[in-house]
A and B are shown apart, each in its own frame.
Chain A
Amino acid sequence: MRRRISAYGLTFSLPLLIWQLLFFVFPLVFLIALSFWTVRNFRMQPDFDTVNWTTMYGRAIFWQAYGTTLALATAAAALTSVLAFPCAYAIAFKLPNGARRWAIMLMVIPFFTSYLVRIYSWQVFLSDAGIINVMLGWIGLGPYGLLNTMGATLLGYVTLALPLVVLLQLFSLIFLDRTLIEAAHNMRCGRLRTVFAVVIPSARVGLVIAALFAFILSFGDFVSPIYLGGGDPTTLSILITDTTKSGQQWPRAAVIALTMIVTLMVVAFLSVRFAYRGRK
């Protein structure tokens, strides 16, 4: 169906349009141009040279970082979704209306505190002389190296994404048609089986979008891999900062950034397509 753009609609969307142009489209175009510039004597100069692309794509560290980032973000999206679902399910179906409002309120509270602060507080828990190791020491265990591990990085990602994922899942579950659940029970589908046979397929769009947000947040995150993961293994976000610091290589950092943007776009496109598969 073709729709004509009305002047009325345009007036209201204009500020957003200008914002997107100024702060997304123009920088993106600039980033693309920048990736073809060259650096001589620590100074950037406009150019059209593919050397940055060939250099970055020729480095093993780039592909290692790419693989690590992709794997960690995927793991974070899966882990966060699995952890969030029982919570969102319980809030949506088991709580009375009043308690549900409070639960939603509690889910918003983490956003009051800066993410950086929350990650620092994890350091207090996880370090060798931190709270967890001290408590384990009381019963004669440890100390374990909890900080500067991939597990700690994942923990950071989950900290970042969990409240948002719970909220997104919650909203798709609240609006689920409850007669579908009754109908499933009515056809001899037990409680747990109904969750997998009816609830998850019905809420699929919301669940996939929630996981996608967890992926996007984790994929580009710099704080967790550096402060909880100790920068090892290197993620793409860490690689970008390293590249800019070593010899003013902003054009090569642009190559990494553009690769990340394209990856996110592909993942987002595939996820949305999967979410809406079979829907008209």
Chain B
Amino acid sequence: MRAGKPKTSRCGDRWTAAAFCACEPPRMPRMPSVLRPVRGAVVLCLLLLLGACATPFHRPDPLDEAALRHRAKTAAGEGVRVSATIPSPEESRAIFGVDLEEKGVQPLWLEIENDTDRPLLFSPTGLDPWYFSPLEVSFAYHKRFSDDANAQLDEHIRGLAHKLVVGPRSTESGFVYTNRDEVNKFVSVDLVGRKWAQAVNLIVPTEGTTSPEERYRQLSQVIAQSGVVETDDESHLRELLEQLPCCVTSRNGTQVEPLNLVLIGQITDVGPAFIRRGYRVTPADNRYLFGRPQDFSASKRDLWVAAQPHLFRAWLTPIRFRGIPVWVAQVSSPLGGRFARPAEDGAPLPIDPNVDEARNDLVQDIVYSQFLARIGFVQGVGQVKASAPRTIPGVGSYHTDGLRAVLFIEERPFHLSEIGFLDWERLVDHYRKQVDGGESSKPGP
């Protein structure tokens, strides 16, 4: 059924290198003439060689879910409970019979218990928009001339995949084939029905890493020793936040970047809010606050466009607002961002002087994560004008409106129009002062 005219031959997506072709009908390469007399023998030899490759598929032992369930992270929603585990590389090889890690596939075991009277539809796209389909995974391990073994592998990988639907009052478990996360996997399980949806979020550590919840427990114990400051009152909270140190310090105690962000939320909400917008835990040069280096540092991960270059460091404070932990953080970008070249001696790049921009971008990210319940601003480092920037040896210089953004992070999805604004410092007034001060009084282009 080959097409007759050049234009009608199928190219592009079907034939890799022919994607750009002028669409000549393809021809088989001709066998060199010296081999033609022994054609039969050549073919026979090839077939024998290839036959040796046709190894049968050894079906692994049936999956023992108890071990995965035993160490699963779990979270509950309205009438639902989700458990998730990432099998270790050894477990994974035993379960799938192939080394998924080799191809960058991270299988995630999910068990969804449905205690409601409605069926739940689970959307893996919400968890990883680049997830792999089961047959895509098994295809990567197909062997030539092993049709039976390939078909069995297909069946095996497909059989282990999550069925994506959970009937009323029942439980469904299985694997989702996701892209690899190195340290922690933030798992957002979207459950959809007709004209309703709910999300259950949890954080699943990979083998040998500490989960953020565990890290939070450790930090809480440290802080409990020196005393927790509880408050239920908003204006008291504002005072406490304005009394926090202005800046982070270097190891020798020099004040460095301003602390320009406060997050109020449980680790299980703060984590997913950031992860939804592409942030991942990444190492960073140490900065110090409360006598210790940052508790978490994160930056945005490139997907298929280069991500914004913001670097973010956070510390758990002793403050609890209505029982919810309060974090203080510093966010900035390297000067030149995605266009900057790393220094040859590996020295850190200077910071972009407009630190407010990094802060405002991060705020917007959290706005779009749909986890932002309320936002306010309090005094922080104090205003530093662009005309007289503050210089920090070895770090660069910066200017700022001097405010800290305070973000109240909660789990339920908040539309843009549902976000609450606190009547503390008002960013609008600060910008108006700038305009009145003649710093940016020109109308836009």
Q: Do A and B bind each other?
A: no
- B interface with A by C-beta (< 8 Å): none
